[in-house]
Amino acid sequence: MLRLVEVTTAESPRESLVELTADIPPWLREANGETLIAAAELCRCYGVHLGAGRLFELAADRSAERAYCLCARAAVEFATAGESDQSHGLIDHATS
């Protein structure tokens, strides 16, 4: 979690989050669901919607009891980022 704090205290937190989520590093990709959700929320706060969508989608894979909610959140973030195909794909997957 310390690395997320470092990102948000960088000179440009938004740019740091864009870089972080463009190619999600193993330490974050392998993190637990709570850490992924925290990172996704940080992305939302800084307007990094595509990154938030990717992180909510990863978190959904780790949380069976919250998977539908997290898929929905990912779909909203993808739609906000202009990735409507990815958004619709998540919705289709969640409802099938």
Task: Give 39-79 pLDDT, tens digit per residue.
Answer: 999 999 999 999 999 999 999 998 888 888 999 999 999 99
Task: Please check the confidence at residue 81 and state whether its pLDDT lies above 90.
Answer: yes
Phi, psi of 83 (to 5 degrees): -100, 65
Task: Please check the confidence at residue 1 and state whether its pLDDT lies above 60.
Answer: no
Q: How far apart are CA 92 and CA 13, in angstroms?
A: 33
pLDDT band (50, 70, 90) for residue 96: confident
Q: What is the secondary structure of 13-68 as a DSSP string?
A: HHHHHHHHHHT--HHHHTS-HHHHHHHHHHHHHTT-HHHHHHHHHHHHHH-GGGHH
pTM for the complete prediction? 0.90
Task: Please check the confidence at residue 17 and state whether its pLDDT lies above 80.
Answer: yes
Tell me if residue 8 falls in helix, strand or coil. helix
Number of domains observed in the structure of the chain: 1
Q: Which domain holds residue 16?
A: 2-95
